[in-house]
Amino acid sequence: MNNYMRKTMESFQKDMENRGRLLIKCPDQPGIVSTVSDFLFKHDANIIASDQYTMDPEGGEFFMRIEFECPNLKEKGKVLEEEFQPIADMFSMDWKLMPVSQWKNMAIFVSKEPHCLLELLWEYQSGDLMANIALVISNHESSRQVVEALGIPFYYIPAHKDIRAEVEEKQKQLLKEYHVDLIVLARYMQILTDDFVKEFKNQIINIHHSFLPAFIGAKPYERAYRRGVKMIGATSHYVTGDLDEGPIIEQDIGRVDHRDNAKEMKKIGQAIERSVLARAVKWHLEDRIIVHKNKTIVF
């Protein structure tokens, strides 16, 4: 991390030292909101933002995200967790309590195409990506210079299907060494094994063009151009063992017409990919996403 980013992080941590977030998922029933609010009130916490959603009000699931200010949160954190547990048990909650000041460590995986990586690096440099990009891993050397110029470690690990287990073992060692909380596949053109994905459940975000399941495989824009599509787009999702079928976080589209050749369509598509991935990553870092089965609730 360079000096500018270190100062940005230190300033953010100071400003947010008493800010916390609470994510809740549980069966819907009366009294959840009032009980949680009363708990925070009794611990001198002031609710800054609160969002909730009930999926199927009759016997469905309840989802909630609360952001709050609590004096001396760092010292109180363990006590809050211990004293909230009986409430969680009472409502059968799946829950997380997180201090906002604690930046997540992020790893970026990239192959040849740098557009998504560059977008994340720009957001990082501008102070709009509240995370520590701990390292970049690539199966090509082409992005080394731009990454290392920002003081971010770059690791070149050649990869192909015949050495996949060996490659992933090296990657996992690095992820453990850097205490990585989130992995972003910024156009990393290698398939991850089920074992790798299971180890990082809901911690791997991918981006791909939204032609899928149409135009699977190589040169999708060329084939989409020949087909005469009128819209192109991108989808960002969590990675699961089912290829490109994980819980969707964000999507967007752009219109094209007969004047756009395959090269121009790809350029438009890459711009959409960049923005869609950046939004998905930011929402994850801001603890705005709750995964439920193969869907996401994004607050």
- Cβ neighbours around 180 below 10 Å, total: 20
Phi, psi torsion values for 51, nearest 5 degrees? -130, 140
CB 298 within 8 A of CB 283: yes
C-alpha to C-alpha distance for 287 and 289, rounded to whole angstroms: 6
Please tell me which residue in 38, 89, 94, 244 is annotated as part of the active site.
244
**Is 244 part of the annotated catalytic residue set?**
yes
C-alpha to C-alpha distance for 219 and 52, rounded to whole angstroms: 42
Q: Which residues pair with 207 in a beta bridge?
A: 236
Closest CA to 63 of 100, 20, 28: 28
Q: Give the β-pairing of 61-69 and 19-27.
A: antiparallel
Cis before 57 (ω within 30): no
Which sequence positions are flagged as catalytic?
Answer: 244
